[in-house]
Structure formats: C-alpha cells, structure tokens
Amino acid sequence: MGVWIDTDMGFDDIAAIMVVTNAELDIDGVSLVFGNAPLPRVRTNAAGAAKAFGWKFSIHTGRDMPVLGKLETAQAILGESGIPTTGRRLPPAPILPDSDAFVALCRWLELEGPHRILALGPLTNIAALVLARPDLSARITELVWMGGGVTSGNHTASAEFNALADPEALAIVIAHKLPLRMVDLDLCRKVLAKPEDADPVRAAGGANAELIADMFAGYIRIGTSRGRPSMAIYDPSAAVAFVAPQVVSFRPARIDVELQGQHTRGRTVVETRTTHATFNAQFAADIDADMARVIILAALVNEARK
Ligand code: BDR
Ligand code: CA
C-alpha cells in the first residue's frame, strides 16, 4: 500500500513530494486544495510539476473554498502563481484531467490499509471526507499535517497559514479523532534554508537542476527579503516526519484551534501536560534539524540529477 498526499502545491509542497519519492514510498494519489493560491492556479502548478518531474501518480481536484468563511491565499507573499522563483518557472502543461478528490480518496480508503496521509495545506478535503463518510475517514491510519503554530503565526501574528485558511476544517478533523500528527510552525522554524543551499541543487546538472534551484532560491528569498538570514522549510519538514519518524519526537497532546477570536482566529492551542487535558493528537515537539536538512537537500539534489 502506498501513501496519499493532500497539497496546495507551492514550492515547499513540491519539495515535500520529492522527499517522499526519494524515500521510495509509492504515492497512490494526490489531492489538491486551495491555499497558496486559488484552486485553478494550484491545478496549473500541479500540471506543470507533473510534466517537469515526470510524476506518474494520479492527481485529483479537491475543494476550492474553506468549510466556512472567505478564501484565504498566500499570494500576497508568494505572488500570483504561489511559487516565487529567481528565474525559471514550471513549464506550461495541459490542464489535468477532471478527477474528483473526494471520490478518489473514498476509493483509496476502501482498499486494504494502512492508509497514511501527508497533508500540506488547509485540511478542507479531509474535513469534507470526515463529514460525508466518517466510516471511511475512520480507516485513516495516520495523518501527518504541516500546520498550526504554538508560539506565533506567520499569516497573522496569531495563526499559521494552513490553520487560518480553514480553521473549521481543523476543528472537524480534531473532533472526529483522526490520528493527527501535527508538525507546526515552531518545529519547521528549526529547519532552515540559507541562500547557498540552492547551490548544490544547481550544480547537480540534470535537466531540472536550474528549475528546482531557481524555485528553491525564490522560496528562500521569502525569508531573506524580510531581513532574515534564512527561511524555515515548512512542508518538507512534515515530509521528514512522515518518511523518517525517528528524526522527530512526537508527544501526545491536546490540540484545539481558535475559531472565534477577533485577533486569534486560526491559532492552535497545544497542551502537553497530562494533568490538564485529555489528549486528542500527537504534536511534533522536536526534530533533529541537521538530519532533516540532510534528508531534504538530498531529495532536491537527487531530483535535480534526473
Ligand atoms: C504553510 O503554508 C503554505 O504557504 C506552505 O506551503 C505551508 O504548507 C506554511 O505556513
Ligand atoms: Ca503547503
């Protein structure tokens, strides 16, 4: 049995997929969700990445709006495409064939498990599944999700983007006791990329070396253009937790998400004290950041060599 990836297809999502393929896990399917950009643009990115990197797995189109509320994207930071670059862009590609993510996920969950999902965007597709087919969502074995932030946010002062873009979806996933393993902003901020990290990717010399290096450099520039020396590697850190769980320490936790707060909507609240809560999830408390960087950079370099 392979794994499933749910994604809003920014550069860090693409890099996370490379971490999974480099670990030689089979990807049974990918579902797309709005997030870094509106869904039609996410589909375009997925088609371009599939063409550039020769992806053979099936890609399915999921939700274009959150469970409640208005559409949030990260385009103000990432640009119209959701994938900043210092040069080359993903190639134009024919539009992906129509395939409904909900239907595809249901079919996959009907197969014999284990059913391991890596979620890299707002949890809207997973929440839709939980609401309509709780019998099938109960078959999910593991849901590693990049999202949330314990001490701070990135999209707002309080909230991490994937949580803020659909907090109700996160609340639904938690309420239905899915086996959530949350890899939050604070953890990802320990795994940093500096501008020179794009150099070995560029030097790999394969057909896609310049493309991956330019997109990686564009991603790192999100941090450096704001006066920081580096950029946190978000989704690939969750992919490391997925493919190499020994690199990450998970702790049982009580995770809740703020749905009401005037200034704190989308904020995740994580309680790890046994005396204060009934646990409902696992929380990635620490990571061997050096090892995580080795795994992530090796995946990018190997892809660049192809
Ligand atoms: C998350 O938001 C998206 O922009 C990234 O792809 C990542 O999944 C980080 O907050
Ligand atoms: Ca993402």
235 CB within 6 A, ligand 1: yes
Per the CB < 8 A criterion, the answer to whether 118 and 144 are in contact is yes
User: ipTM beyond 0.85?
Assistant: yes
Q: Answer whether 82 contacts ligand 1 (Cβ < 6 A).
A: no
Ligand nearest to the CA of 72: 1
Query: What are the phi and psi torsion angles at 204 (to 5°)?
Result: -65, -30
Of 6, 184, 235, 242, the one to substitute when testing ligand 1's pocket (max ligand atoms within 8 A of C-beta) is: 235
Amino acid at 17: I
The pTM of the full predicted model, rounded to 2 decimals, is: 0.98
Q: Which ligand 1 atom sits nearest the alpha carbon of residue 165? A: 2
- Give the nearest ligand 1 atom to 161 CA: 10
Contact 279, 180 (CB under 8 A): no
Using CA atoms, how far apart are residues 88 and 90, in angstroms rounded to an integer?
7
251: phi then psi, degrees, rounded to nearest 5: -125, 145
User: Ligand 1, residues 17, 34, 36, 231: which to mutate, most atoms within 8 A of Cβ?
Assistant: 36
pLDDT in tens, the chain (306 residues): 899 999 999 999 999 999 999 999 999 999 999 999 999 999 999 999 999 999 999 999 999 999 998 999 999 999 999 999 999 999 999 999 999 999 999 999 999 999 999 999 999 999 999 999 999 999 999 999 999 999 989 999 999 999 999 999 999 999 999 999 999 999 999 999 999 999 999 999 988 999 999 999 999 999 999 999 999 999 999 999 999 999 999 999 999 999 999 999 999 999 999 887 899 999 999 999 999 999 999 999 999 999
List the beta bridge partners of residue 60. Answer: 31
Structural contact between residues 181 and 281, judged by C-beta atoms closer than 8 angstroms: yes
